[in-house]
Amino acid sequence: MRVLVTGGAGFIGSHTADALLKEGHSVRIIDNLSKPVHLKGKPTYLSGDIEFMEGDVRNTDDVRKALKGVDAVYHLAAYQDYLTDFSKFFDVNSRGTALLYEIIVEDALPVKKVIIASSQAVMGEGCYTCPRDGKVYPGIRGLEQLSKGAWEIKCPVCGNRIMYASSDETVTNPRNQYAMSKYTQELIGLNLGRRYGIPTVCMRYSIVQGPRQSFYNAYSGACRIFSLNLHFDKAPAIYEDGNQIRDYVNIEDVVRANLLVLREDRADFEVFNVGGGKSVTVLEFFEAAGRVFEKDIAPRITGEFRFGDTRHIFSDITKLRKLGWDPRNNVEKSVADYKTWLESADNLEDILEYAEKRMKERNVVRMSAQGAMDR
């Protein structure tokens, strides 16, 4: 097959592209090498066997050129950040997706499948169970609550303490600019795909971890932050109290899922959670990273929080398991592979402070009253 990977210079896209090549497909990438993800330009990890096109998924001529002669598309290009340039999320993610379908339909292109990168973020705070009210789907915590350092979610009906539960694909509760834009990508792909006979699959990735995650993108999360800190013998700040439940999935597992849904007709017009299958707290993740780096460094729990973060989220992966997929790798493997990659990188000195400083400048990270008192 001839396969186009949008955003293929990035983390998930480049690994997917490599796996496609290995399976004998020919691969074209369109990527605008956006900053800060590619602060240092075109990544050297891109295989010479890939046809690389520098272009923007919002540009009609670029997308038309990229789609020429293509049998399938992985649409992974996206704007991901915590910043307040709200319109950019919809411009890149929503409009970029609509343009893809527009050109396929208007030019009557014989594209047999489009696989869209969605996100667990679409489910927001996900599903919780309340002893009184059963399944509930809370909204995000307000600034007032977070400023007091009151991290846990209360039942939106009765106000009692509730327990997180796993969330399946029926849960949609997008609450921030990124999540809303990712949900529009699902809606655009599934509805236009069905209407115009373009088999489409939406992959709701949990937090994907492994080598090639940009050092410079604040959005690329725990693995990058913890690994960089441990590498430099520093103690990272952990937001809230570190007991947030997360769901980390290894990049190799994600790539296997991506390849599975390309060949599997039963996946068409479906949404799949692609998660690690194991709930892990942020603190537990840090401890695992400490074991991999063989460093006994305590994190700093500073009372800071990131406005807009979910408290707990954990994806139910039963649906993808039914197609024969299973996550095989644990968080230690993700960190170990990231460590190897980190150790092979140049100019590490400027990396550590970059993303955190950027988030603070933009007022994404804030301090709770308790944290301020402890200072």
Ligand X SMILES: NC(=O)c1ccc[n+]([C@@H]2O[C@H](COP(=O)([O-])OP(=O)(O)OC[C@H]3O[C@@H](n4cnc5c(N)ncnc54)[C@H](O)[C@@H]3O)[C@@H](O)[C@H]2O)c1
Determine, following the binding rule CB under 6 A, whether residue 151 of this chain makes contact with ligand X: no
Given the rule CB under 6 A, which of 32-40, 302-310, 338-346, 351-359 is the region that contacts ligand X?
32-40
d(CA 234, CA 366) in angstroms, rounded, equals 21
| Closer residue to ligand X, CB minimum distance, 27 or 57 | 57
Q: How far is the CB of 368 from ligand X (least distance, A)?
A: 26
| Exposure class string for 318-339: b at 16+ Cβ within 10 A, else e | ebbeeeebebebbbebbbbbbb
Given the rule CB under 6 A, which of 24-32, 231-239, 313-321, 331-339 is the region that contacts ligand X?
24-32
| Closer residue to ligand X, CB minimum distance, 16 or 229 | 16
Q: Where are the beta strands (DSSP E) in 128-247?
A: 128-130, 134-136, 163-164, 200-205, 207-209, 237-238, 245-246
d(CA 287, CA 299) in angstroms, rounded, equals 9
Q: How far is the CB of 162 from ligand X (least distance, A)?
A: 25
| Closer residue to ligand X, CB minimum distance, 57 or 271 | 57
Interface pattern 198-237 for ligand X (x via CB under 6 A): -------x-xx-----x--x--------------------
Question: Is the bond preceding 36 in cis, omega lying within 30 degrees of 0?
Answer: yes
Determine, following the binding rule CB under 6 A, whether residue 72 of this chain makes contact with ligand X: no
Candidates 5, 27, 92, 336: give the one binding ligand X (CB under 6 A).
92
Determine, following the binding rule CB under 6 A, whether residue 368 of this chain makes contact with ligand X: no
Determine, following the binding rule CB under 6 A, whether residue 320 of this chain makes contact with ligand X: no
**Residues 128, 136: contact at Cβ < 8 Å?**
yes
* Tokens standing for residue 203: 């992959």
Alpha-helical runs (H) found in the chain: 11-22, 60-67, 86-89, 96-106, 143-147, 177-195, 221-231, 251-263, 282-293, 318-321, 331-343, 351-361, 369-374
3-state class (DSSP) for residue 157: coil
Q: Hey, which residues between 93 and 132 contact ligand X (CB under 6 A)?
A: 96, 117, 119
Q: How far is the CB of 66 from ligand X (least distance, A)?
A: 9
Candidates 76, 190, 192, 267: give the one binding ligand X (CB under 6 A).
76
Pairing mode, strands 365-367 and 304-306: antiparallel
Residues at the site binding ligand X, with contacts judged by CB under 6 A? 7, 9-13, 30-34, 37-38, 56-58, 76-80, 92, 96, 117, 119, 205, 207-208, 214, 217
